[in-house]
């Protein structure tokens, strides 16, 4: 559960921070002409394995027809597929409708947690990587051409180095007197494995590099980065150790989140970390910003390597996070720590000299977690009962059979389901052993035992405490039959079969 919670936590925050700063998407036409043949290969469960085995390099988009982001991507993906079909050798782009029941097992196998998800399949599917490139046609083409080329490009001149090593990206360069031997082979192995995340190059003479050093003879790995000390070297060439070096050195001591797209890759890496996440929100235009930033960076440096990652976020760009946490602007400047199990700790209206003390209290375990919750309703007499974070466990563990919906007020599927759940609740009004309930997931924290990946998500808890995610049909009859079959009025545990998690037609978070 911890790994699942961490993965979903990361996807939520990537959406809240990164997607909130770009234009919104509205569902519409697919954007491609129905009269022209598509350059995108359509796959499903019946031909997927055959296609992956046939093509040594193939990109697959897992999409849902109702997904607005998929709709926006479709014409760009089609254009890129047409251009890449002329590449030598051709680069194949494909798509799978992950909303179709026959394809849900594929989506689950490849850990598709949202739409669109793009995966790169190499070597007959033996090597599967996430696509982490642009989402417009020219960017897709440029990114994938690099992906099919050598994992590491040779730098032969200062001009080559200037073109490869930019001020906006992390670049890993291996310096080798000869392009052979164990060190070089391990470097190429790591480059092949991590090429979706980083750009790799190799050079025989370090003097060709920016900030080159005539004394550096190699073998050595130099990681260039647009933050902190600008470059860092390593002479460790064991594969695992080299991967660890790149992972640690490529993340800023303090990640900056504002509206600059150049920072977004580092924001994503921040949330993909296994560490607890300390986030400091303040107004970047305030007079105190420089003092706060300097102090926060100083504190982050002292906690480096102690299981906490640090981010500083501009108030103007972080509205999605404020909505998620239930925060208010008058609490700024404030520090939030989020753990992978969902626990949160807040320090509102913090002063610069309080940050270090508060972090020390956190590491010592003396802080009380914060929980976002609406007030417990004083009147709760509608057929479908309202549940909030502060009484969710009381309701679920009440000794009743509880069908609980996690919803969002803006979710179209939730609005469609509302009258159906009302009908179900009315049908069980005379059964004191059954409760039909709902919780606004945008206004209340969701405990980690509930794997809410989209809206609506429904769970059923029997009177004896058996908890399962509801994956059945969405008619009133479906719900009524399910509850009758699984409800437990005697307190004796039943053992209904738990289906494997699947991706349903849910509104995106």
Query: Where exactly are the structural domains of the chain?
Result: 31-148, 152-249, 254-363, 385-486
What is the C-alpha to C-alpha distance for residues 164 and 103, in angstroms, rounded to an integer? Answer: 40
> Mapped to the 3 state alphabet, what secondary structure does 182-215 carry?
HHHHHHHHHHHHHCCCCEEEEECCHHHCCCCCCC
User: Which of 70, 112, 153, 404 is flagged as catalytic?
Assistant: 70
Choice among 155, 170, 411, 436 that is catalytic: 411
- Given 120, 414, 436, 483, the catalytic residue: 414
Would you call 414 a catalytic residue per the annotation?
yes
148: tokens are: 């099919």
Owner of token pair 């730098």:
155
Report yes or no: 83 and 89 within 8 Å, Cβ to Cβ.
no
For residues 410 and 455, what is the distance between their CA atoms, to the nearest angstrom? 10
- Domains 31-148 and 385-486 in one fold: yes
- The CATH class, in words, for 152-249 is alpha beta
DSSP 3-state of 213? coil
Per-residue pLDDT of the chain (509 residues; tens, 9 = 90+): 444 444 445 545 555 565 444 333 333 334 444 557 899 999 999 999 999 999 989 999 999 998 888 999 999 999 999 999 998 888 999 999 998 999 999 999 999 988 899 999 988 888 898 998 889 999 999 889 888 888 999 999 999 999 989 877 899 999 999 999 999 999 999 998 898 888 999 999 988 988 766 677 779 999 999 888 889 999 999 999 999 999 889 989 999 999 888 888 888 888 888 899 999 999 999 999 999 999 999 999 999 878 899 999 999 888 888 877 778 889 999 999 999 877 889 999 999 999 999 999 999 999 999 888 899 999 999 999 999 999 999 999 999 999 999 999 988 899 999 999 999 999 999 999 999 999 999 889 888 889 887 889 999 999 998 999 998 899 999 999 999 999 986 444 333 333 333 334 444 44
Q: What distance in Å separates the CA atoms of residue 161 and residue 209, rounded to the nearest whole number?
A: 6
* pLDDT at res. 224: 94
pLDDT at 137: 94
Query: Could you say which DSSP state residue 226 is in?
Result: S
Q: What residues form DSSP beta bridges with 281? A: 313, 334
Interatomic CA distance for residues 452 and 408, integer angstroms: 11
At residue 10, the pLDDT reads 53
- Quote the Cα angle for 62-64-67, to 5°: 120
Q: Is the peptide bond prior to 449 cis by the omega test (within 30 degrees of 0)?
A: no
Rounded distance between C-alpha atoms, residue 134 and residue 255, angstroms: 21
Q: Are 146 and 201 in contact (CB under 8 A)?
A: no
List the catalytic residue out of 40, 58, 67, 463. 67
Round to whole Å and give the CA distance between 211 and 393: 58
Cα dihedral sign, 448-449-450-452: positive
10 is known as an active-site residue = no
pTM for the whole structure = 0.65
Please report how the helices 289-302 and 355-363 are oriented relative to each other, as an axis angle in degrees rounded to 10.
Answer: 30
pLDDT of residue 294: 94
Contact 76, 39 (CB under 8 A): no
Say whether the peptide bond before residue 116 is cis (omega within 30 degrees of 0): yes
What b/e string do you get for 480-509 counting C-beta neighbours within 10 Å, with b at 16 or more?
Answer: eebbeebbbeeeeeeeeeeeeeebbebbbb
Contacts 24+ apart (CB under 8 A), 375-378: none
Alpha-carbon distances, residue 407 vs 114, 267, 391, 458 (angstroms): 17, 27, 16, 9
Query: Per CATH, is 31-148 categorized as 3.10.105.10?
Result: no
**How far does Cα 27 stand from its chain's mean position?**
22
Question: Tokens representing 256?
Answer: 């900056």
C-beta separation of 121 from 52 below 8 A: yes
- CATH label, 385-486, candidates 3.10.20.30, 3.40.30.10, 3.20.20.80, 3.30.428.10: 3.40.30.10
Q: What does the DSSP 8-state code read for residue 370?
A: B
What's the distance, CA 32 to chain centroid? 28
What class has domain 254-363? Answer: alpha beta
């Amino acid at each position: 559960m911890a790994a699942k919670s961490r993965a979903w936590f990361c996807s939520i925050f990537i959406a809240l921070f990164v997607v909130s700063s770009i234009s919104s998407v509205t569902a519409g036409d697919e954007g491609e002409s129905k009269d022209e043949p598509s350059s995108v290969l359509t796959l499903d469960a019946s031909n997927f394995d055959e296609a992956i085995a046939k093509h040594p390099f193939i990109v697959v988009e897992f999409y849902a027809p109702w997904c607005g982001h998929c709709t926006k991507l479709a014409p760009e993906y089609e254009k890129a597929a047409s251009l890449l079909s002329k590449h030598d050798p051709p680069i194949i782009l494909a798509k799978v409708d992950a909303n179709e029941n026959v394809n849900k097992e594929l989506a689950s196998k490849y850990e598709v947690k949202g739409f669109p998800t793009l995966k790169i399949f190499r070597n007959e599917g033996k090597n599967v990587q996430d696509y982490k490139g642009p989402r417009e046609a020219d960017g897709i083409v440029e990114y994938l051409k690099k992906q099919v080329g050598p994992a590491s490009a040779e730098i032969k001149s200062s001009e080559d180095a200037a073109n490869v090593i930019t001020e906006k990206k992390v670049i890993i360069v291996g310096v080798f007197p000869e392009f052979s031997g164990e060190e070089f082979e391990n470097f190429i192995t790591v480059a092949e494995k991590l090429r979706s995340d980083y750009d790799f190059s190799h050079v025989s003479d370090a003097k060709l590099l920016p900030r080159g050093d005539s004394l550096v003879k190699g073998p050595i790995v130099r990681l260039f980065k647009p933050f902190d000390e600008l470059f860092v070297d390593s002479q460790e060439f064991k594969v695992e150790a080299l991967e660890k070096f790149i992972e640690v050195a490529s993340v800023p001591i303090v990640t900056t989140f504002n509206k600059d797209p150049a920072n977004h890759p580092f924001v994503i890496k921040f949330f993909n970390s296994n560490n607890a996440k300390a986030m400091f929100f303040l107004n970047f235009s305030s007079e105190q910003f420089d003092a706060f930033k300097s102090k926060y960076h100083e504190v982050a440096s002292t906690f480096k390597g102690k299981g906490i990652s640090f981010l500083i976020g501009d108030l103007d760009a972080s509205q999605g996070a404020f909505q998620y946490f239930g925060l208010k602007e008058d609490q700024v400047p404030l520090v939030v720590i989020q753990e992978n199990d969902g626990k949160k700790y807040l320090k509102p209206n913090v002063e610069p000299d309080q940050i270090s003390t508060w972090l020390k209290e956190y590491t010592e375990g003396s802080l009380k977690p914060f929980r976002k919750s609406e007030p417990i309703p004083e009147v709760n007499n509608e057929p479908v009962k309202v549940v909030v974070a502060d009484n969710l466990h009381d309701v679920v563990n009440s000794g009743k059979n509880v069908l609980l919906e996690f919803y969002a007020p803006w979710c179209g599927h939730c609005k469609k389901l509302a009258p159906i759940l009302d009908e179900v609740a009315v049908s069980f009004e005379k059964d004191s052993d059954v409760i039909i309930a709902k919780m606004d997931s945008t206004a209340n924290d969701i405990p980690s035992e509930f794997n809410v990946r989209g809206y609506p998500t429904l769970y059923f808890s029997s009177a004896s405490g058996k908890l399962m995610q509801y994956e059945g049909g969405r008619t009133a009859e479906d719900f009524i039959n399910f509850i009758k079959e699984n409800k437990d009025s005697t307190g004796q545990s039943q053992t209904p079969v738990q289906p494997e998690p699947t991706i349903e037609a849910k509104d995106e978070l």
